[in-house]
Amino acid sequence: MKFVTYTNNDGETPRFGFKRDDEIVDVIRSGIWVNENIKDSSFLTVPTTLKLALGNWDINFSKLKNLNQAIPDTDLSSLEVDEKPIAIKESEASLLPPVTNPDTFRDFYAFEQHVKAARKLRGLEMHPDWYKLPIFYFSNPTTLYGHGEIVPYPTGTEELDFELEFAIIIANGGQNIKKENADKMIAGYTILNDWSARDLQREEMQLNLGPAKGKDFANSFGPYMVTPDELTDAWDNNKLHLRMTCHVNGKLISDGNTNDLYHSFPTMIERASMNVDLRPGDYIGSGTVGTGCILELRPESTGGWLKRGDVVRLEIEHIGVLENTIV
């Protein structure tokens, strides 16, 4: 299934839903409709947000799958609760980050090609410990943007960049999770754009701390949280094979694949959960795929750094499209 947090463009409080064909089904309203019309009250206990549902994901995911089956196979916009439809067309919805208020967001550095290229630009050889130790930094969980949202151009930079990544969303939570048991902690996958101010980042990294202001002004997530069962056919030799691309103003800039990930998400979960709790709804990012940013490709080869008015479109097959305009 593909889960979303959305609004219907009329100022309504964000709502929990899932995608079905070209519609977004409202979880709470559809649960009430099933209770009133099919006399099944079992869905009334489903939490009101995706983050809350992730706290007991095994039970709630099962209920949500059953709810999808209980709803008629018809035009759902004609079915109402309190004079409001239980579903709207996806084209009429504003899609927010799947989890809008995570407790933490960790971003790893797990694609070898990107790490090699980034270190080479700083005059550094590949560090042998990188192959043994999945490393990450904490980013800002309060500056998140969804698909279609406008991203403000940050002050203090002349070198704005995108980063083409994917991320997992944590289910249930836990501490000291072994990688052999970590798959059950992955509620789903989403696209991540880790916006970066390269000049600010460069200043910080010279002092051996960061990134901070070079990264904390914006991150985009979306458009959906895609559950692992949707991607079963994309696995081969224990790797997920999904094409990842970025277009800027319609021009293909980046073209990579999830199968180039060196450190697996279970390995990242094991590292991230050491001595601390991972919480339901936390994001864990992959780091940038090879060719997945202007820094790696070089601005003279891509048409320059990002500027106001640019439309940045990230796409990962079977996960979706994440597009933002910079203003």
Sign for the CA dihedral angle at 42, 43, 49, 51 comes to positive
Whether 74 has a pLDDT exceeding 90, the answer reads no
Q: What is the 3-state secondary structure (H, E, C) of 102-130?
A: CCCEEEECCEHHHHHHHHHHCCCCCCHHH
Least confident of 26-35, 120-129, 175-184, 291-300: 120-129
The pLDDT of residue 118 is 83
3-state secondary structure of 236: strand
Could you give the CA distance from residue 37 to residue 39 in angstroms, rounded to a whole number?
6
| Mean pLDDT, residues 294-298 | 95
Output phi, psi for 303, to 5 deg: 100, 10
| Mean pLDDT, residues 7-18 | 88
| Mean pLDDT, residues 293-310 | 96
Buried b (16+ CB within 10 A) or exposed e, 154-190: beebebbbbbbbbbbbbbbbbeebebeebeebbbbbb
Least confident of 180-189, 194-203, 204-213: 204-213
Could you give the CA distance from residue 324 to residue 222 in angstroms, rounded to a whole number?
11
The pLDDT of residue 173 is 96
Whether 69 has a pLDDT exceeding 90, the answer reads yes
| Mean pLDDT, residues 168-175 | 98
> What does pLDDT average to over the chain?
96
Whether 32 has a pLDDT exceeding 90, the answer reads yes
Domains annotated on the chain, with CATH: 2-94 (2.30.30), 105-326 (3.90.850.10)
Residues 6+ apart with CB under 8 A from 316: 166, 191, 242, 243, 244, 245, 258
pLDDT confidence of 148, banded at 50, 70, 90? very high
Look at residues 86, 40, 90 and name the one whose alpha carbon lies nearest to residue 63. 40
Buried b (16+ CB within 10 A) or exposed e, 199-228: ebbbebeeeeebbeebbbbbbbbbbbbbbb
CB 143, CB 219: distance < 8 Å: yes
Whether 24 has a pLDDT exceeding 90, the answer reads yes
The pLDDT of residue 199 is 96
CB 148, CB 311: distance < 8 Å: no
Output the CA torsion 46→52→54→55 (10° steps): -100
The pLDDT of residue 124 is 86
Peptide bond into 223 cis (omega under 30): yes
